[in-house]
Amino acid sequence: MVQLMGSGAAADRPRAFVWLGPKDDPDLSEAVGQLLESSPHNFKVSYVGPKDITAESLKTVKLLAFPGGEDVDNLWKVVKPVAQPIRSFVAGGGRYLGFCLGAYMAGHSPGLGLLPNGSDVSAECDEEDAQVRDDRDTVIQIHWAFSSGSSAGKTVSDRWIYYQEGNYVKNFVEDNTSYVLGRYSKTDRVAATLNKYGEGWVGTIGPHPEADQSWFDLANITAPDGLQFEPGGQAAGQWNGAESIYYSRNEFIHCIGAEAIYYDRADFIHCIGAESIYYNRAEAIHYNKAKIIRYS
């Protein structure tokens, strides 16, 4: 049973599926869905479970998003029967976006196997040198750095983002189709990635850029610099002809034909060309808990 959200859907609105399994927390799925619906392209979001995922149904959407959740092994038991249609969807040009547990689902052990060969997902909080070493809801700091091009080597450092047992991607090797979008400030381990899979693209992030003020209130924690959700820069970047995905918090994911993947929270990540990933506080990735990674 597919649950539709949003009103006044125009025929040309891009569609997205957001996973909501039979035992999943609907609030986590809805946080992702709300971001998609408030994006510049005003996605028409459907919440789907395993019975809704088929090769035919996936032909109707541009993007499949997996939110956070509780347990990777339990989720995999539910997802495994529909793994092949999902892989085929991405390989054929679809977009996969995974937050926290959704990032685990992009991995290999277990998972959909959407990450590059040799890389996989592991718990950041299990590492001895991690900034956060337990399972409490809190905030963590992220470095976002220019990967290449004229701004290569520049970073936007120590941005705060909501965190709850987030993961990192190990053995992730950058090349012209695989990009590191963010690293944990304390350990330099990979916190967010983008890679090509067949003709499609896969985005993962360990922390929770989709978290709004209600998450902080519920956990009784404070964003170190406060929270702001104003939209960030309006320019979209390019990924070598890849269709654009614009992550924004009041404008989270923006699909622009043959353009790019642009993450921006209150300015999250701005990818320009096959030459660079451009993080710029005023127009790209800005996690600042007064702007806690707000995709916009």
Q: Express each pLDDT in 222-269 by its tens digit.
A: 877 655 332 222 212 222 222 333 333 322 233 222 223 333 332 333
* Mean pLDDT score, 199-220: 92
* Predicted TM-score of the model (pTM): 0.75
Q: Please give the pLDDT value at position 141.
A: 93
Domain range annotation of the chain: 3-122+135-278
Mode of pairing for the β-strands spanning 15-19 and 44-48: parallel
Which range has highest mean pLDDT (35-39, 128-132, 220-224, 284-288)? 128-132
Compute the 3-state secondary structure of the chain and give helix, strand, coil in percent, each to the nearest 5.
20, 30, 50
Mode of pairing for the β-strands spanning 44-48 and 95-99: unpaired
Report helix, strand or coil for 275. coil
CATH number of 3-122+135-278: 3.40.50.880
Q: Please give the pLDDT value at position 205.
A: 93
Distance CA 10, CA 191 (A): 36
Q: Please give the pLDDT value at position 158.
A: 87
- Structural tokens at position 186: 């304390």
Q: Express each pLDDT in 114-156 by its tens digit.
A: 999 999 999 999 999 999 999 999 999 998 755 444 555 667 7
Q: Which residue has the higher pLDDT, 186 or 13?
A: 186
Please report, to the nearest 10 degrees, the dihedral formed by the alpha carbons of residues 28, 32, 33, 39 taken in order.
Answer: 160
- Structural tokens at position 44: 């028409």
